[in-house]
Amino acid sequence: MAPAGHCDPAGESPVPPPSADRIVIEPAGHVFESRPSHAPGIPGADTECDGWSTGAFTLRWATVRGDWHRYYHQPRQDQARATVHRPSGAVAFAVADGVSSAELADVGALEACSAALREMLDQLDRDAWPLDHAQVAAAAGSALRQRAADRLGTASPSAEQVEKLFATTLVAGVVLPGPSGPQAALMRIGDSCAWLLDRGTGQYHALFRPKSDHVVMSNSVTSLPRIPKQVEHVMVRLDPRLILLAGTDGFGDPLGNGTGPLGELFARQLIGPPPRPLSFAHLLDFSRETYDDDRALLAIWSLQEPT
């Protein structure tokens, strides 16, 4: 017997009821079967994840399409990437949140991540430390401009033209092993964020100023290709007590200051042995009403004790 189904309100063919194994943080979001993206081109997948360990670090990252985009036929616009710089043992990473109003926000986010990684690897090749954050930002912005130029067939697209196509936030950085223990250097443009999660206390420490805790929300932000005069950056020491997290506001907004149910959930799941990549993605696919944005999260555990 075919499983009981229901008619999609959009008038599409009957769909099977969705699986009940999603993590829910009450109140649960609306339950429905995801709808395909109607964006031009071949859309990316609903979920991406990756994870591996070097001698010094364990990494997990995932990006998950939010329920709003699943419901309204829009593609996932958050991206993440990471790679190893083999000569130094460093891990370079980037997380980006394509601006919804940009026509190809998903493409912009991935382009920014890739360009930031290439620039950071290049700097590591030249033994540049600390990182030139302004140059990382410039490289990402330049990549978006070039992509826009190729698409529009114009040599010098305006910032507005690039923004209209590819605007995105970016958090990018490197964790570098060292004789005194690992160091992490990060930069950001926009409202994506990074945190240190203390494995002993389960507390989160934001590395960039979180969205203002105004009485009511107000979250207009700068995003690439625009680069502020002062690129936000931070450098911290890592040790096995601390987990470095970088994420988009699809994770950061429901996390808040980390003391709520989402913060407790992730702390419980991350302070022990790192979860498998698919389990990490499953965590990030939590359902909580009104928190239906795409989300990307990257986590790095240090395996190196400070000397």
List contacts with other proteins (CB under 8 A): 9, 29-30, 66-68, 71-72, 97, 99-101, 167, 169, 190-191, 214-221, 223, 250, 253, 260, 289-290, 292-293
For residue 26, the tally of other CB atoms under 10 A from its CB is 8
Amino acid of residue 286: F
Least distance from other proteins to the Cβ atom of residue 156, Å: 25
Instruction: Give whichever of 9 and 272 is closer to other proteins, judged by the CB atom.
Output: 9
3-state secondary structure string, 90-122? Answer: EEEEEEEEECCCCCCHHHHHHHHHHHHHHHHHH
Contact predicate 259/193, CB 8 Å = no
Amino acid of residue 121: L
Residue 185 DSSP code: E
CA distance 248 to 77: 10
Instruction: Give whichever of 111 and 253 is closer to other proteins, judged by the CB atom.
Output: 253
Least distance from other proteins to the Cβ atom of residue 53, Å: 34
Least distance from other proteins to the Cβ atom of residue 275, Å: 25
CA distance 163 to 166: 5
Least distance from other proteins to the Cβ atom of residue 248, Å: 11
Name the token pair of 34: 């995801």
The CA angle 187-97-145, to the nearest 5 degrees, is 80
Least distance from other proteins to the Cβ atom of residue 211, Å: 9
Least distance from other proteins to the Cβ atom of residue 243, Å: 24
Least distance from other proteins to the Cβ atom of residue 25, Å: 9
SS3 label, residue 306: coil
Handedness of CA 264, 276, 240, 86 (dihedral sign): negative
Contact predicate 183/235, CB 8 Å = yes
CA distance 135 to 144: 14
Residue 82 DSSP code: E
- 10 Å CB burial of residue 176 (0-12, 13-18, 19+) is buried
Least distance from other proteins to the Cβ atom of residue 257, Å: 12
Instruction: Give whichever of 39 and 121 is closer to other proteins, judged by the CB atom.
Output: 39
Name the token pair of 90: 């460093």
Instruction: Give whichever of 118 and 226 is closer to other proteins, judged by the CB atom.
Output: 226
Instruction: Give whichever of 128 and 221 is closer to other proteins, judged by the CB atom.
Output: 221
Instruction: Give whichever of 82 and 105 is closer to other proteins, judged by the CB atom.
Output: 105
